[in-house]
Amino acid sequence: MAKLRFKRLGLFYLIALGCIALSIVVSQILIQTSINRQQDDAHVINVAGRQRMLSQKISKLALKIEHQKGEQLQNTMALREALALWKQSHEGLQFGDAELGLSGANSSIIMEMFETISPHYEAIYQNAQDLLSLPPDHDDSTALLRADYVSTILAHESTFLEGMDKIVFQYDEEAQKKVRELKETEYFLLVISLLIIIIELIFIFRPLARSVRATVQDLMASEESSRKMTRELSKLYEELGKSYQDLEAVNLEPESPSLYASMSAQGEFTYLAPRFLHMMEYEETEPPKTFQQLLKSSGYKDDFIKGLMQLLQESKNWTGEIRLITEPGDFCWVETFLIPIVITGEIKMISHDITEFKEAKIRSRELNRERIEKSVKEQQYRSVLILEGQEEERKRLSRELHDGVGQMLSAMKLLLESFAPSSNPMKMRLEDAKSLMKSIIQEVRRVSFNLTPSSLDDFGLVPAIKKFCDEINSVTKAKVEFVNETRFINRLESTIETNLYRIIQESVNNALKYAKATHITVRFSHNINSLNILIEDDGKGFDYDRLGSSGHFEKAGHGIFNMKERTSYIGGSFNLTTELGKGTKIFITLSLDKND
């Protein structure tokens, strides 16, 4: 049902998107057509205005020819050229002329105006032609004809000029009218586009927001149920903790640590103990020549090996459990202490085989599990269902935000960027809308990522935290740095990894949202017994003692309360230090013995 509703909302959105796209295309067609017409109108007005100048030039040249002023030949040629251009322009304005770029598309009013001045045009043109046809004689009869032609030209010139002035004004008025009509059309299309956007907000985004809000409320209710279930299970977990004490009944004692190997600072083996060779079953085959080869053949990645060797070359000790693959292909576990000797430049590998001890603990745990499951099975099953339901709700909400809302918001941002209003106030409002849409898209992306740490189940806690820090860096201006000091790589129980991830996530989000931190560091360090996590920020801090004495941190739903609850749930210790103006530090310590 939810998928069908979301699909229907998406269909409505596509229809509205098509309507907006259509309005934009129509608007662009109208604008481009109008621009071309305005260019033509400007050219027509220019040619019409030139007709007035040409008629005055014809009258002036006619007077020069009549009174014999200047070079007669030059005056005659100039009059003939002006008369030809004057005739071509006059006819082109009425009927079009490709050479002059005139379309001849005139209104009925302008055509009537041309009809009114046509007799005057004909009289001026004909008398000018007759004047040009006279011989250059100076007798009285020729002079009388020349004076008669010139007087006729001058008599019709003023009326022709008045008529051309009216025509030019009419051309200008019609061009202004087209501009006003274009503005009205543009505003109309803009109103339609905004109306479609408003309809989308009311009938598409608003129902979608309600659906997301309902999902979030269900998720919060599920978290509250989980919190209550956790309290109910506390006593059962105490019994579970007591049952682990039965592990002490295992009579198997691990061997004492001894020197397994010596190597140079570059990792080349200089000594391999017989016990180590026997354990790895290298009696009949050649052992690896370097520590790097040993780790790589056992499945460790290059980045871990490189980081471990760099740590040792800095003369720092390393402790941890290493899983090795023997020559026949079996697994063996060794608890290892890598100790650099500064004086000799060698690295000592002090280890002892804990394979049988780990297997014995596993067997002991299996024997106790049947008895424990009888008392906690029902409650544990309910708790798992609630936790799984929470994660499924987070994943579903994340997909809806990323694939649904995120895509729609991106499309809306592209639409806003395609608008090109002509007025400055509208441009400013559009820029504000674009900025707001960009912020909304970044926030949706951040929320979507926070809801679903998919890399946690696939790759473990360390890669998931590193990816989380990278994602936060990509959507915020603050710098979030992840430091794995001791190259911790152990996989923990799924529940522990999930809770540690949520604690770190809550800490970083609080530092960004409330403390306004600009630099946050998530630091991992470990030894053979425990994992230590430090989340440090340079935010504004707060008065911890005052808030603690008021019971502020004991309220369910508060970030620090949730982190304490989660830490207690997985059997870790939680400490927080802060001071106004000096940032906040959160220390989490988890015993690794409980996760063996």
Q: What is the pLDDT of residues 480-494, one digit of tens each?
A: 999 999 999 888 888
Q: At the fourth CATH level, which superfamily is domain 454-596?
A: Histidine kinase-like ATPase, C-terminal domain (3.30.565.10)
Q: What is the pLDDT of residues 26-58, one digit of tens each?
A: 777 777 776 666 667 777 888 888 887 888 888
Of 379 and 92, the one with more pLDDT = 92
d(CA 524, CA 588): 10
Cβ atoms of residues 319 and 531 within 8 Å:
no
DSSP secondary structure letter of residue 245: G
Give the model's pLDDT for residue 187.
Answer: 79
Listed residue (122, 98, 127, 93) closest to 110, CA to CA: 93
Cβ atoms of residues 537 and 519 within 8 Å:
yes
Token couple for 441: 């898209």
Confidence of residue 507 (pLDDT cuts 50, 70, 90): very high
Handedness of CA 17, 19, 24, 28 (dihedral sign): positive
Count CB atoms within 10 A of the CB of residue 172. Answer: 16
Q: Is the pLDDT of residue 363 over 50?
A: yes
Q: Which fold has domain 258-353?
A: Beta-Lactamase (3.30.450)
Token couple for 471: 């994602």
Geometric angle at alpha carbon 259, from 253 and 263, rounded to 5°: 145
Q: Indicate if 454-596 has the same CATH topology as 2-208.
A: no
Q: What is the pLDDT of residues 110-146, one digit of tens each?
A: 888 888 988 988 888 889 888 888 877 667 777 788 8
Q: What is the pLDDT of residues 364-380, one digit of tens each?
A: 666 666 666 655 555 54
The domain locations on the chain are 2-208, 258-353, 454-596
Cβ atoms of residues 72 and 132 within 8 Å:
no
Cβ atoms of residues 40 and 103 within 8 Å:
yes
Q: Is the pLDDT of residue 596 over 50?
A: no
Confidence of residue 328 (pLDDT cuts 50, 70, 90): confident
The mean pLDDT of 235-258, rounded to a whole number, is: 59
Give the model's pLDDT for residue 342.
Answer: 82
Q: Is the pLDDT of residue 521 over 90?
A: yes
**Crossing angle of helices 424-451 and 355-399, rounded to 10°:** 150
Query: How many CA atoms are closer than 13 Å to the CA of 121, on its beta-carbon side?
Result: 20
The mean pLDDT of 77-81, rounded to a whole number, is: 87
The mean pLDDT of 550-558, rounded to a whole number, is: 57
Q: Is the pLDDT of residue 556 over 50?
A: no
d(CA 128, CA 155): 13
Q: What is the pLDDT of residues 388-429, one digit of tens each?
A: 556 566 666 666 665 556 666 666 666 666 666 666 666 676
d(CA 2, CA 436): 28
Question: What is the architecture of the domain spanning 2-208?
Answer: Up-down Bundle (1.20)
